Structure formats: structure tokens, C-alpha cells
Amino acid sequence: MRIGSGAGFAGDRLEPALELVRAGVDDLVLECLAERTIALGQQRRLGDPDQGYDPLLRARFERLLPVAVPNGARVITNMGAAHPLRAGEVTRQVMTAAGLTGRIAVVTGDDVLDRLDPATPALEDGVPLAEHGEIVSANAYLGAEALLPALDADVVITGRVADPSLFVAPIAQRMGWDLDDVPRAAAATLVGHVLECAGQVTGGYFADPGVKDVPGLAELGFPFADVDADGSATIGKPDGTGGMVTVPTVREQLLYEVTDPTAYRTPDVVLDFREVRAERTGADRVRISGARGRARPEELKVSVGYRAGHRAECGISYAGPGASDRARLAADVMSERLRGTGLRVRADVLGAMGDPDGECRLRVAAIAEDRTAAQIVCHEVESLYTNGPAGGGGVRTDVREVIGIVSALIPRSDVTSQVTTLVVNDATA
């Protein structure tokens, strides 16, 4: 089977996903959630019960589904974020408007806010969750088993699912692999981990001019994996696209966000990378093999969002002769004026230091317990127009709530997933 990665984060480009569909894939995965992304989705849903899903879902699907569905490419995505059911409804609207027929499966059950004990210690610091701040979200990382009942659909939408698991489920289903078979679960998880960040494994993020040059970065292609029955897979990208697939790009992605290469914990398996091999088999083709693992853990990771105060972020520019000196003076003025507020303030001068025709910008940022206190910082920066060094201009101020993120564990037995199916056919048009 061939499985492609059409997105590696919420703001990813769309054209590479279309290129993968045109090149031919059985499954296309759009991985669009980070730890903070889903908490921000929960924050949006608190303000509007119809929100919480990925804001780009409609725009992505309006372009992608009219190409993917007729070509038989099943689309799997976690763009449901904090409101998968609403995301499913929006997807049905898109498919209906495009004259498409098919089935949409929505996977829910990751929201465990009502089952999370606030006294549970956070994995990062051991402090009880409740002591970090008001908890606004708690989403467990579902595994591939939650997706398997949904895979008879043309489009599968989830909330929080472990990134590799989005790939593990369709691989296991198409290859006929049992997820209780640890070597097979490890092999599928290895593929999922390599693909999950999309363009990173084809040279994006890898690129470092003069050190690691990447051709055609402006037309970066996204990766696919041709998965074989023995558990090995060949990573590639569509012909004619930019970027590159090499042993070094694959190796960097193999270790990306892996703190312990001997025990990379996922809901499906505890993956061991020590025997993994990456071998070039052709131009932009690298074969990966050798995944090992141990049985899946009995606890699932939970991403917990809490109210962490408000952030003020403000800026003012200085240009012309002496710009850097005036910007530094403005930074000193800000530090002195805000010293008695008790706020954590950071002032940075950025730009063309020492260039008489250049521009320098003062950036001031602070975290406050409430919006009112954060706005004090913005007011002081704005006052630099006439109460600071000469020639200040272009003030921009922004105050927004900060959602902090910590992690915890929850027994797997406390998490139950469900699948809701939506049918799109001529009768709905």
C-alpha cells in the first residue's frame, strides 16, 4: 500500500497534499494538531459552541476532497481538534456542495476532562494539575484501535490521536495486520513517525544553507511510504517536486521529538529504534526497516490545557542614524517604568544594528495574571511615541490569553472511543 502525509501541522501548505493524490496514494493523512493547538481549539469552543475544529478545515477540504474522493484516496485527519462532530458536519457540507457522495466517519472519545483527577501529578514537574491553573481541556491520545472501526469511510475525522497512530490504523487495516502483533505494530509506528511531520522528511526544516542544502525548497514535495508485507517501507516523494528524500533527512526525522530511542511510547507500542536501518534505494527513495518494540502501555498520555494568564506583546520601531541607540534607550525606559508592576517583562531590540539607513524594533513582552495588568505594558509602549526617544513609530500592541500545557497519564480503561458515521449522497444535495 502507499500512504501519504499531506500535512504536518495546522498551518501547513495544501498544494503538496494535492500532488500526493495526483501521484496516487491509497490513504492521505493530514496531521494538524500540536499540544497547544487542541487547547486553543477548546478555548475557541468555550467562546462559540460551534467552533473548536481546525479553522482551515473547510478551505482545505474544498480544494482537496473534490480531487481525493473521486481518485479513491481515503483522507484521515485530526482536524476535528476540540470539536470533531462539528468538523464532520462541515465536511458533509463541503462534500454536498461539491456534488460528492461517500461516507464520513467521526472518531470521538479523546475528551476526558470529566474523568481527569485534578490531583494527578503533571509529568513535567510532578505538581498536581489543579495547582497549575484552571483546567480548560484534557484530551487523551487515542491509538490506532480507535480508528479501525472508522476506516470503511471515505473521510475519517478525529480529535486528539497520537500522530503515528493516524498512519498505523490504515496500514494495519490494508495490510491485514493485527495490532496485538508487536513487531507489526512497531513497523507501522515507525512509518507513521517518519511521515507525521510531512515536509520535514523531504528537506523542510532539515535545510541549512551551506551545511545541508536542499534543492527546490520553494516547491517542496511531501512524503509517501510504500509499505511492504515484511514490515519494511520505502519513503519517497512525488516526481518533479522540490526537496529531497535522503538517508540524512530520514535519520533526522527518526529522532525528532524522541527523548528515549529505546522506548518511544505510543498508544500502540513502545517503539525501539536501535535496530532501525535507513538505506538509499534510488533517487529520493529510502528504505526503512528494523523496527522493534514492546507491548503497548496500559496508560494513555493526556494533554491538559490550563489558564496561564495573559500575554502582552508590543513593538515600536526606530529608523535612521542612531536607531539602535534610541531603541536600546527605549528598552531601558520600559524596563524602569515597568519595574514596580511585578510583571515578568522582556525587552529585545531587533533589526539592523549600526546601519544608519536601517530600522530597529523594540519588542516588549510580558505575562500577567489578568488582561488589565497586561494592558499596562501596551499602554507604556504606546506612550513611547512622545514619552520616549525621538522618532518612534509603527506601534503594535496585542493582549491575548495564554493556555498553558502540561501532560498526565490516564488508565487506558478509562477512555472509550466512539465512531459516528455521516452519509453524503444524492438525497442530501
DSSP E strand boundaries for 223-358? 224-227, 233-236, 264-265, 270-272, 277-282, 285-289, 292-294, 299-319, 344-351
Question: What is the rounded CA–CA span in Å between residue 181 and residue 186?
Answer: 9
Angle, CA of 29, 217 and 166, to the nearest 5°? 10
Per domain, the residue ranges of the chain are 2-113+138-302+413-428, 304-407
Question: What is the rounded CA–CA span in Å between residue 380 and residue 262?
Answer: 51
Please, what's the b/e burial string for 29-40 (b: 16 or more CB within 10 A of its CB; e: otherwise)?
Answer: bbbbbebebbbb
Q: Is the pLDDT of residue 319 over 50?
A: yes
HSE on the CB side for 262, CA within 13 Å?
A: 0
Q: Residue 138 is which amino acid?
A: A
Question: Model's pTM, two decimal places?
Answer: 0.93
pLDDT digits (tens, 9 = 90+) for 191-239: 999 999 999 999 999 999 999 999 999 999 999 999 999 999 999 999 9
Strand partners, 399: 312
Residue 427 pLDDT class (50, 70, 90 cuts): very low
The DSSP code for 341 is: G
Question: What is the rounded CA–CA span in Å between residue 257 and residue 296?
Answer: 19
Please answer whether residues 345 and 335 qualify as being in contact, where contact means their C-beta atoms are separated by less than 8 angstroms.
yes
Which of helix, strand or coil describes residue 80? Answer: coil
Find cell 528515549 and name the residue: 260
pLDDT digits (tens, 9 = 90+) for 255-301: 999 999 999 999 999 999 999 999 999 999 999 999 999 999 999 99
- Quick one: pLDDT at residue 355? 72
- Quick one: pLDDT at residue 143? 98
pLDDT digits (tens, 9 = 90+) for 323-355: 999 999 999 999 999 998 889 899 999 997 667
By C-alpha distance, which of 144, 289, 292 is closest to 228? 289
Please answer whether residues 377 and 343 qualify as being in contact, where contact means their C-beta atoms are separated by less than 8 angstroms.
yes
- Quick one: pLDDT at residue 354? 66
Q: Is the pLDDT of residue 66 over 60?
A: yes
pLDDT digits (tens, 9 = 90+) for 355-382: 767 899 999 999 999 999 999 999 999 9
Q: Is the pLDDT of residue 318 over 60?
A: yes
Q: Domain 304-407: give its CATH architecture.
A: 2-Layer Sandwich (3.30)
Burial class from Cβ neighbours inside 10 Å (0-12, 13-18, 19+) for residue 354 reads exposed
Question: What is the rounded CA–CA span in Å between residue 328 and residue 353?
Answer: 10
Q: Is the pLDDT of residue 426 over 80?
A: no
Residue 428 pLDDT class (50, 70, 90 cuts): very low
Q: Look at the alpha carbons of 60, 194, 147, 43 in this order and tell me if their dihedral is positive or negative.
A: negative
Strand partners, 397: 314
By C-alpha distance, which of 92, 76, 94 is closest to 158? 76
Find cell 515484511 and name the residue: 230
Residue 306 pLDDT class (50, 70, 90 cuts): very high
Please answer whether residues 277 and 254 qualify as being in contact, where contact means their C-beta atoms are separated by less than 8 angstroms.
no
